[in-house]
Structure 1
Amino acid sequence: MQQANSSVAYILWCLCFFGICGGQRFYTGQVTSGLIYFFTIGFFGIGQLIDLALIPGMVDQRNLYLRGLQGSGTPSVNQSITLNIGDIPQLQQLQGIQPQPLSTGSPMQKLLKAAKEHNGQLSIAQAAMYTELESEHLKELLQEATKIGYAEINNDPNTGAIRYHFDV
Protein backbone atom coordinates (compact mmCIF):
# COMPACT_ATOMS: atom_id res chain seq x y z
CA MET A 1 0.00 0.00 0.00
CA GLN A 2 1.44 3.36 -0.99
CA GLN A 3 2.23 5.85 1.78
CA ALA A 4 0.82 9.37 1.82
CA ASN A 5 3.15 12.21 0.81
CA SER A 6 3.20 15.75 2.25
CA SER A 7 3.96 17.27 -1.16
CA VAL A 8 0.82 15.74 -2.67
CA ALA A 9 -1.23 16.96 0.31
CA TYR A 10 0.08 20.51 -0.20
CA ILE A 11 -0.72 20.36 -3.92
CA LEU A 12 -4.26 19.27 -3.07
CA TRP A 13 -4.44 22.11 -0.54
CA CYS A 14 -3.67 24.53 -3.40
CA LEU A 15 -6.88 23.49 -5.13
CA CYS A 16 -8.63 25.88 -2.74
CA PHE A 17 -7.50 28.69 -5.05
CA PHE A 18 -9.83 27.15 -7.64
CA GLY A 19 -12.72 26.77 -5.18
CA ILE A 20 -12.13 23.10 -4.38
CA CYS A 21 -11.35 22.83 -0.67
CA GLY A 22 -10.64 19.84 1.54
CA GLY A 23 -8.64 17.74 -0.94
CA GLN A 24 -5.82 17.38 1.59
CA ARG A 25 -8.31 16.01 4.12
CA PHE A 26 -9.66 13.40 1.70
CA TYR A 27 -6.08 12.42 0.81
CA THR A 28 -5.15 11.86 4.46
CA GLY A 29 -8.24 9.72 5.11
CA GLN A 30 -10.31 12.34 6.93
CA VAL A 31 -13.40 12.03 4.79
CA THR A 32 -15.88 13.63 7.19
CA SER A 33 -13.85 16.80 7.68
CA GLY A 34 -13.05 16.74 3.95
CA LEU A 35 -16.75 16.91 3.17
CA ILE A 36 -17.21 19.73 5.69
CA TYR A 37 -14.33 21.65 4.09
CA PHE A 38 -15.73 20.99 0.61
CA PHE A 39 -19.20 22.32 1.40
CA THR A 40 -18.07 25.23 3.61
CA ILE A 41 -15.23 26.40 1.34
CA GLY A 42 -12.50 25.23 3.67
CA PHE A 43 -14.50 25.98 6.79
CA PHE A 44 -14.83 29.55 5.55
CA GLY A 45 -11.14 29.71 4.64
CA ILE A 46 -9.96 29.52 8.23
CA GLY A 47 -9.64 25.73 8.20
CA GLN A 48 -7.69 25.80 4.97
CA LEU A 49 -5.16 28.23 6.48
CA ILE A 50 -4.81 26.17 9.65
CA ASP A 51 -4.25 23.04 7.57
CA LEU A 52 -1.05 24.55 6.20
CA ALA A 53 0.49 23.79 9.60
CA LEU A 54 -1.45 20.56 10.20
CA ILE A 55 -0.69 18.74 6.93
CA PRO A 56 2.59 17.09 8.07
CA GLY A 57 0.87 15.64 11.14
CA MET A 58 -2.15 14.47 9.12
CA VAL A 59 0.18 12.74 6.62
CA ASP A 60 2.18 11.10 9.45
CA GLN A 61 -1.03 9.86 11.10
CA ARG A 62 -2.29 8.47 7.78
CA ASN A 63 1.02 6.70 7.15
CA LEU A 64 0.98 5.19 10.65
CA TYR A 65 -2.53 3.89 9.96
CA LEU A 66 -1.50 2.47 6.57
CA ARG A 67 1.54 0.74 8.10
CA GLY A 68 -0.76 -0.82 10.69
CA LEU A 69 -3.04 -2.15 7.95
CA GLN A 70 -0.14 -3.42 5.88
CA GLY A 71 1.39 -5.48 8.67
CA SER A 72 4.20 -6.72 6.41
CA GLY A 73 7.07 -5.47 4.34
CA THR A 74 10.38 -4.26 5.66
CA PRO A 75 10.82 -5.37 9.27
CA SER A 76 10.95 -2.47 11.69
CA VAL A 77 10.73 -1.80 15.38
CA ASN A 78 7.15 -0.57 14.90
CA GLN A 79 5.77 -3.85 13.58
CA SER A 80 3.48 -5.94 15.75
CA ILE A 81 3.94 -9.61 16.52
CA THR A 82 1.15 -11.94 15.44
CA LEU A 83 -0.12 -14.11 18.27
CA ASN A 84 -2.47 -17.01 18.43
CA ILE A 85 -5.30 -16.93 20.96
CA GLY A 86 -3.62 -19.86 22.71
CA ASP A 87 -0.53 -17.71 23.38
CA ILE A 88 -2.38 -15.16 25.51
CA PRO A 89 -2.37 -17.13 28.81
CA GLN A 90 1.40 -17.69 28.52
CA LEU A 91 1.95 -13.99 27.84
CA GLN A 92 -0.19 -13.06 30.80
CA GLN A 93 1.90 -15.26 33.06
CA LEU A 94 5.15 -13.79 31.70
CA GLN A 95 3.96 -10.22 32.16
CA GLY A 96 1.96 -10.78 35.34
CA ILE A 97 -1.20 -9.52 33.65
CA GLN A 98 -4.47 -10.72 35.04
CA PRO A 99 -7.22 -9.18 32.92
CA GLN A 100 -10.64 -8.95 34.43
CA PRO A 101 -13.13 -9.56 31.62
CA LEU A 102 -15.89 -6.99 31.51
CA SER A 103 -19.10 -8.86 30.94
CA THR A 104 -21.52 -5.97 30.55
CA GLY A 105 -21.71 -2.99 28.25
CA SER A 106 -20.94 -2.30 24.63
CA PRO A 107 -17.50 -3.09 23.18
CA MET A 108 -16.62 0.62 23.31
CA GLN A 109 -17.57 0.76 27.00
CA LYS A 110 -15.43 -2.32 27.66
CA LEU A 111 -12.54 -0.69 25.83
CA LEU A 112 -12.86 2.54 27.79
CA LYS A 113 -13.09 0.69 31.12
CA ALA A 114 -10.00 -1.33 30.25
CA ALA A 115 -8.14 1.85 29.33
CA LYS A 116 -9.11 3.41 32.64
CA GLU A 117 -7.74 0.37 34.50
CA HIS A 118 -4.45 0.71 32.60
CA ASN A 119 -3.88 4.44 33.17
CA GLY A 120 -5.35 5.37 29.79
CA GLN A 121 -2.96 3.25 27.72
CA LEU A 122 -3.72 -0.03 25.91
CA SER A 123 -1.92 -2.27 23.50
CA ILE A 124 -3.84 -4.03 20.75
CA ALA A 125 -3.52 -7.33 22.62
CA GLN A 126 -4.93 -5.80 25.81
CA ALA A 127 -7.84 -4.32 23.86
CA ALA A 128 -8.52 -7.76 22.35
CA MET A 129 -8.49 -9.43 25.78
CA TYR A 130 -10.91 -6.98 27.34
CA THR A 131 -13.36 -6.58 24.47
CA GLU A 132 -13.20 -10.24 23.37
CA LEU A 133 -13.60 -9.11 19.75
CA GLU A 134 -12.19 -10.74 16.62
CA SER A 135 -9.33 -8.83 15.01
CA GLU A 136 -11.40 -7.22 12.22
CA HIS A 137 -14.05 -5.97 14.66
CA LEU A 138 -11.34 -4.82 17.07
CA LYS A 139 -9.64 -2.80 14.31
CA GLU A 140 -12.96 -1.12 13.51
CA LEU A 141 -13.56 -0.37 17.19
CA LEU A 142 -10.09 1.14 17.66
CA GLN A 143 -10.47 3.17 14.45
CA GLU A 144 -13.80 4.47 15.73
CA ALA A 145 -12.24 5.37 19.10
CA THR A 146 -9.53 7.41 17.36
CA LYS A 147 -11.98 8.92 14.87
CA ILE A 148 -14.30 10.28 17.57
CA GLY A 149 -11.41 11.49 19.70
CA TYR A 150 -11.42 8.93 22.51
CA ALA A 151 -7.90 7.74 21.71
CA GLU A 152 -4.66 8.67 20.00
CA ILE A 153 -2.24 6.26 18.38
CA ASN A 154 1.40 6.44 19.47
CA ASN A 155 4.39 4.15 19.63
CA ASP A 156 5.92 2.91 22.87
CA PRO A 157 9.22 4.79 23.25
CA ASN A 158 11.08 1.66 24.40
CA THR A 159 9.68 -1.10 22.20
CA GLY A 160 8.13 0.83 19.31
CA ALA A 161 4.90 -1.15 19.68
CA ILE A 162 1.62 0.59 18.88
CA ARG A 163 -0.18 1.99 21.91
CA TYR A 164 -3.59 3.60 22.14
CA HIS A 165 -3.75 6.50 24.61
CA PHE A 166 -7.21 7.25 25.98
CA ASP A 167 -8.25 10.39 27.80
CA VAL A 168 -10.00 8.67 30.72
Structure 2
Amino acid sequence: MKVEVKDKHYDKEKERMKISYMLNVLGFLGFTGGLHRLYNGKVATGLLWMFTLGLFGLGQFVDLFLIPNMVEEREIKLRLKAGLSPFGVAPSPQAIASEIYQSPQETLMVELLKAAENRGGKLSVTQGVLDTGAKFSQVEATLQEMHKSGYVGIGNNPENGAVTYIFHELT
Protein backbone atom coordinates (compact mmCIF):
# COMPACT_ATOMS: atom_id res chain seq x y z
CA MET A 1 0.00 0.00 0.00
CA LYS A 2 1.58 3.25 -1.15
CA VAL A 3 0.73 6.48 0.63
CA GLU A 4 0.94 9.59 -1.52
CA VAL A 5 1.51 12.89 0.22
CA LYS A 6 0.63 15.97 -1.79
CA ASP A 7 2.45 19.19 -1.15
CA LYS A 8 0.44 22.09 -2.51
CA HIS A 9 3.49 24.36 -2.58
CA TYR A 10 5.37 21.82 -4.66
CA ASP A 11 2.40 21.55 -7.03
CA LYS A 12 2.25 25.33 -7.43
CA GLU A 13 5.97 25.45 -8.11
CA LYS A 14 5.67 22.65 -10.67
CA GLU A 15 2.79 24.47 -12.40
CA ARG A 16 4.78 27.73 -12.45
CA MET A 17 7.73 25.82 -13.93
CA LYS A 18 5.59 24.41 -16.77
CA ILE A 19 4.11 27.80 -17.61
CA SER A 20 7.57 29.42 -17.52
CA TYR A 21 8.99 26.89 -19.97
CA MET A 22 5.97 27.32 -22.27
CA LEU A 23 6.42 31.10 -22.27
CA ASN A 24 10.13 30.65 -22.99
CA VAL A 25 9.33 28.38 -25.95
CA LEU A 26 6.99 31.09 -27.29
CA GLY A 27 10.03 33.37 -27.34
CA PHE A 28 11.95 30.83 -29.42
CA LEU A 29 9.05 30.60 -31.87
CA GLY A 30 9.27 34.30 -32.60
CA PHE A 31 6.55 35.57 -30.30
CA THR A 32 7.53 38.09 -27.67
CA GLY A 33 10.47 36.87 -25.65
CA GLY A 34 10.83 37.64 -21.97
CA LEU A 35 7.29 36.70 -20.95
CA HIS A 36 8.68 33.94 -18.74
CA ARG A 37 10.78 36.54 -16.91
CA LEU A 38 7.82 38.88 -16.44
CA TYR A 39 5.77 35.93 -15.17
CA ASN A 40 8.43 35.20 -12.55
CA GLY A 41 8.69 38.79 -11.33
CA LYS A 42 11.82 39.84 -13.22
CA VAL A 43 10.25 42.95 -14.75
CA ALA A 44 13.37 44.87 -15.84
CA THR A 45 15.08 41.95 -17.57
CA GLY A 46 11.73 40.73 -18.89
CA LEU A 47 11.24 44.03 -20.71
CA LEU A 48 14.85 43.93 -21.94
CA TRP A 49 14.30 40.41 -23.33
CA MET A 50 11.03 41.54 -24.91
CA PHE A 51 12.54 44.47 -26.80
CA THR A 52 15.74 42.65 -27.87
CA LEU A 53 13.98 39.40 -28.87
CA GLY A 54 15.40 37.48 -25.94
CA LEU A 55 18.81 39.12 -26.13
CA PHE A 56 18.94 37.97 -29.75
CA GLY A 57 18.02 34.42 -28.79
CA LEU A 58 21.04 33.93 -26.58
CA GLY A 59 19.23 35.04 -23.42
CA GLN A 60 16.27 32.79 -24.23
CA PHE A 61 18.62 29.81 -24.49
CA VAL A 62 20.48 30.59 -21.24
CA ASP A 63 17.16 31.00 -19.46
CA LEU A 64 16.32 27.36 -20.16
CA PHE A 65 18.84 26.56 -17.40
CA LEU A 66 17.92 29.51 -15.15
CA ILE A 67 14.14 29.02 -15.06
CA PRO A 68 14.17 26.60 -12.08
CA ASN A 69 15.96 29.19 -9.91
CA MET A 70 13.67 31.98 -11.14
CA VAL A 71 10.61 29.92 -10.25
CA GLU A 72 11.97 29.03 -6.81
CA GLU A 73 12.83 32.68 -6.04
CA ARG A 74 9.37 33.83 -7.13
CA GLU A 75 7.62 31.19 -5.01
CA ILE A 76 9.66 32.18 -1.95
CA LYS A 77 8.81 35.86 -2.48
CA LEU A 78 5.12 35.04 -2.85
CA ARG A 79 5.15 32.93 0.32
CA LEU A 80 6.85 35.71 2.29
CA LYS A 81 4.36 38.23 0.94
CA ALA A 82 1.52 35.95 2.08
CA GLY A 83 2.99 35.87 5.60
CA LEU A 84 4.41 32.36 5.39
CA SER A 85 7.96 31.20 5.97
CA PRO A 86 10.06 30.41 2.88
CA PHE A 87 9.10 26.77 3.43
CA GLY A 88 5.37 27.55 3.31
CA VAL A 89 4.68 27.22 7.03
CA ALA A 90 2.71 29.87 8.89
CA PRO A 91 4.70 31.46 11.73
CA SER A 92 3.62 30.49 15.23
CA PRO A 93 1.53 33.11 17.03
CA GLN A 94 3.35 35.19 19.58
CA ALA A 95 2.30 34.89 23.21
CA ILE A 96 0.69 38.00 24.64
CA ALA A 97 0.66 38.67 28.35
CA SER A 98 -2.88 39.00 29.63
CA GLU A 99 -1.83 40.52 32.95
CA ILE A 100 0.87 43.00 33.84
CA TYR A 101 3.39 41.51 36.22
CA GLN A 102 3.66 43.38 39.46
CA SER A 103 6.72 42.59 41.53
CA PRO A 104 6.35 41.85 45.24
CA GLN A 105 8.21 45.09 46.01
CA GLU A 106 5.72 47.15 43.97
CA THR A 107 2.85 45.42 45.76
CA LEU A 108 4.50 46.20 49.10
CA MET A 109 4.89 49.85 48.06
CA VAL A 110 1.17 50.11 47.42
CA GLU A 111 0.39 48.49 50.78
CA LEU A 112 2.76 50.92 52.53
CA LEU A 113 1.09 53.85 50.76
CA LYS A 114 -2.31 52.71 52.02
CA ALA A 115 -0.91 52.26 55.54
CA ALA A 116 0.60 55.76 55.45
CA GLU A 117 -2.69 57.20 54.20
CA ASN A 118 -4.49 55.64 57.19
CA ARG A 119 -1.87 57.10 59.56
CA GLY A 120 -1.95 60.70 58.30
CA GLY A 121 0.89 60.43 55.77
CA LYS A 122 3.57 59.35 58.27
CA LEU A 123 4.82 55.82 58.78
CA SER A 124 7.57 54.09 60.75
CA VAL A 125 9.09 50.74 59.81
CA THR A 126 7.33 49.04 62.73
CA GLN A 127 3.96 50.48 61.71
CA GLY A 128 4.62 49.32 58.14
CA VAL A 129 5.33 45.79 59.35
CA LEU A 130 2.15 45.79 61.46
CA ASP A 131 -0.03 47.03 58.60
CA THR A 132 1.43 44.88 55.80
CA GLY A 133 2.62 41.73 57.54
CA ALA A 134 5.93 41.90 55.65
CA LYS A 135 9.37 41.41 57.23
CA PHE A 136 11.20 44.33 58.85
CA SER A 137 14.03 44.12 56.31
CA GLN A 138 11.58 44.17 53.37
CA VAL A 139 9.63 47.16 54.71
CA GLU A 140 12.79 49.10 55.53
CA ALA A 141 14.38 48.37 52.13
CA THR A 142 11.18 49.36 50.31
CA LEU A 143 10.85 52.61 52.28
CA GLN A 144 14.54 53.39 51.59
CA GLU A 145 13.95 52.76 47.88
CA MET A 146 10.93 55.07 47.94
CA HIS A 147 13.10 57.70 49.67
CA LYS A 148 15.82 57.38 46.99
CA SER A 149 13.16 57.83 44.32
CA GLY A 150 11.87 60.99 46.02
CA TYR A 151 8.45 59.68 47.00
CA VAL A 152 9.12 59.82 50.74
CA GLY A 153 10.94 62.14 53.12
CA ILE A 154 12.67 61.02 56.32
CA GLY A 155 12.11 62.59 59.72
CA ASN A 156 12.05 61.71 63.42
CA ASN A 157 9.10 61.28 65.72
CA PRO A 158 9.54 64.03 68.38
CA GLU A 159 8.03 61.87 71.12
CA ASN A 160 10.14 58.71 70.82
CA GLY A 161 12.85 59.57 68.25
CA ALA A 162 11.83 56.78 65.86
CA VAL A 163 12.67 57.22 62.20
CA THR A 164 9.50 58.26 60.40
CA TYR A 165 8.91 58.21 56.68
CA ILE A 166 6.82 61.16 55.56
CA PHE A 167 4.63 60.81 52.46
CA HIS A 168 4.39 64.50 51.50
CA GLU A 169 1.54 63.97 49.05
CA LEU A 170 -0.56 62.34 51.77
CA THR A 171 0.00 64.91 54.56
User: What's the TM-score bracket when you normalise by the shorter of the two chains?
Assistant: 0.3 to 0.5
- TM-score when normalising by structure 2: 0.42
TM superposition score normalised by structure 1: 0.43
